Chains A and B, each alone.
Chain A
C-alpha cells in the first residue's frame, strides 16, 4: 500500500463518484496490478453498500419522552439560567439555598392554610409560589362537577416586582368542556398547546403541538379554554414582557369524577 500513496486519493474519489473519466482509467490500470489496492477498493464499496442497506428502527417511545421533557418547566428553566446565576458548587451556597427553600416552603404552606381557613382571600387559583410550576400535571375529568377555579383578582405585579425574572402565571384558567361525542364513545385524549402570553396577560397565537388521538373536538375545546384564560404576564425586572407558555390538557372520560382541571407546564 505504501507504493500506492499517489493513487489512494484517486481511489477514494472514485469510491465517492467524484473522479473524472481520465483518472478513472488510471485507477483501473493501477487496480489491475495492485492486489492490495484492489482489496481496499472492494472493501470500501462493500461498506458503502452495507451502510445504505442498513436500516435502524426508530423507537417510537422517544416521541413521548422528548415532547414531555421539552415542555417541562423545570428542565427548560434550569437549562436557560445563565452560568453566573446557577447555584455555585460550594457547600455554603447549597446550604443557604436549602435554608431559603425551607423558609419559602414554610411561608407559602402557611399562607395556603390561611387561605383554606378563610383568613386570606384567595389571590391565585394555584398558589402564588413559583413552586406551583413543579406540581405534577393534573387531569381533566368529564362534566358533572364543580366548575373550574373561578378567577383571581391578583395583583401579580406587586408581588414579584423585585425579582429579575418571573414566569407567567395563571390568573384564571378556563376549563374545557368535555365533548359530548367523545363522552358517549368513551374516548380520552391529550392535547399539548403552545401560546404567546402578551404583556397584558392575554393568550395569543395558540397552536396545537400535539393531539393524541387526533380528535378534533378535544383540540377545539382546549384551544377555546386557553384563549379564555388569563395570565399574569412574565416580568423582567418588574416590567411585563411577552413570553411563551405550554399547556397540556388531558381529557379523562370518567363520568363520576368531578369536572376539574388540567395539566399545565410552563417554560
Chain B
C-alpha cells in the first residue's frame, strides 16, 4: 500500500514510469469492471484504454494520492455509464426489446453465472454499476460513494433498491436458490 501511495504521488507529478506501474497494478480490476458493465470483451478493452488515457491526461487532478484507486474507478464509472446510456436505445432498436441480455454466453463460466450476467444486463446502468462495485469489485460503501459522487446514505438506499430489482429479475429467470 505504501508503495502504491508512492507511485500515485509520483504519477500525480507526471512521472510516466509510475503511471506504467500503476497501469499494470490496476488494469485487471478496471478491465473486469468494464467487462461486467459493458458486457463484451471489445468494449471492455476499449474501456481500459480510454480510462487509463484519461487518467494520464488528468493526472494533475489527483489531489489525494491515497485515493488513487477510487479516483481511477470514478473515471471508469463516468466512461462506462456514458457508454451504457448510449447503448440502451441500440439494444432496444436492434432487438425489439430491452429484455434481451447483452452478454456473450461464451464468456461465462457456467449456467449460474450466465443467468446472473443476464439479470445484470437487464438492470438500469446505475443499478448495475452499484451491484458490480459492491458484489464483484467488493468495494466498501465509502469507496462506492467516492466513485459515484453519491452520499453514503444514497449509496445504501440505491444499492438496496438495485438488489431488489436484481432479485425480481432473477425470480423471473428462475434463479436457483441455495438449498
Contact = CB atoms under 8 A, between A and B. Distances in A.
A51 B136 CA distance: 5
A56 B31 contact: yes
B16 A209 contact: yes
Given A47-B116, A207-B16, A69 B49 contact: yes
A69 B175 CA distance: 42
Interface residues of B, dominant DSSP: helix
A50 B17 contact: no
Interface stretch (B69-77, B80-88, B155-163): B155-163
Contacts of B164: 1, 8, 40
A23 interface: no
Contacts of B112: 50
Interface stretch (A59-67, A130-138, A151-159): A59-67
Contacts of A40: 164, 167
Contacts of A44: 163, 167
B136 A66 contact: no
A61 B177 CA distance: 38
B123 to A, nearest CB: 12
Give the size range of B's interface with the partner. Answer: 35 or more
B93 to A, nearest CB: 25
A55 B28 CA distance: 10
A108 to B, nearest CB: 29
B11 interface: no
B20 A209 contact: yes
Nearest to B32: A56
A28 to B, nearest CB: 16
B53 A246 contact: no
Contacts of A59: 31, 41, 45
Interface of A: 1, 8-9, 12, 15-16, 39-40, 42-48, 50-56, 58-59, 61-63, 65-67, 69-70, 75-76, 79-80, 194, 207-210, 244, 246
24 contacts: A8-B160, A12-B160, A40-B164, A42-B178, A43-B175, A46-B177, A47-B166, A51-B135, A56-B28, A56-B35, A58-B32, A59-B31, A59-B45, A62-B48, A65-B45, A66-B52, A69-B49, A69-B53, A79-B57, A80-B57, A209-B17, A209-B20, A244-B14, A244-B16
